[in-house]
């Protein structure tokens, strides 16, 4: 352990904090998240940080999708991710989310 212990001002902590700001029924892209924490090019690192998310109850990482609206990955499987989004009212068509409708812009 000690692994996820790096939280607290770290990149990972920032990612988790930004992710927690996404309201229910909305989604944000990895790129948007990266941008929100001041690292617009670190989209991949954001995914990495979310993959290490240990507190899914407070960090809704399932609300983060790819830049083109595709579901992307998820620690519990993309199917679970899609199911959770559906439950929150997010419409998924052909495995994609309508970002124009459900996309949330962090600031």
Nearest distance in Å: CB 91, DNA: 19
Instruction: Please select the residue that binds DNA; options are 3, 57, 93, 94, rule is CB under 7 A.
Output: 3
Give per-residue burial for 81-100: e unless 16+ CB within 10 Å, then b: bbebbeebebebeeeebebe
Site for DNA in 53-72 (CB under 7 A): 53, 61-62, 64, 66-68, 72
Tokens of 13: 């902590």
Tell me if 24 sits within 8 A of 102, measured CB to CB: no
Nearer to DNA among residue 21 and residue 52 (C-beta): 52
Of these residues, 42, 46, 49, 61, which one is catalytic? Answer: 61
Site for DNA in 75-104 (CB under 7 A): 75
61 is catalytic: yes
94 φ/ψ angles, rounded to the nearest 5 degrees: 55, 35
Q: Which residues sit at the interface with DNA, rule CB under 7 A?
A: 3-4, 6, 10-12, 29-31, 39, 41-53, 61-62, 64, 66-68, 72-75
């Amino acid at each position: 352990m000690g692994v996820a212990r790096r939280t607290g001002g770290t990149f990972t902590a920032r990612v988790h904090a930004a992710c927690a700001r996404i309201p229910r029924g909305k989604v944000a892209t990895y790129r948007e998240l990266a941008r929100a924490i001041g690292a617009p090019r670190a989209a991949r690192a954001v995914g990495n940080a979310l993959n290490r998310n240990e507190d899914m109850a407070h960090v809704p990482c399932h609300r983060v999708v790819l830049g083109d609206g595709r579901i992307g990955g998820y620690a519990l499987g993309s199917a679970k991710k899609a199911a959770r989004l559906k439950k929150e009212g997010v419409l998924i068509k052909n495995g994609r989310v309508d970002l124009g409708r459900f996309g949330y812009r962090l600031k």
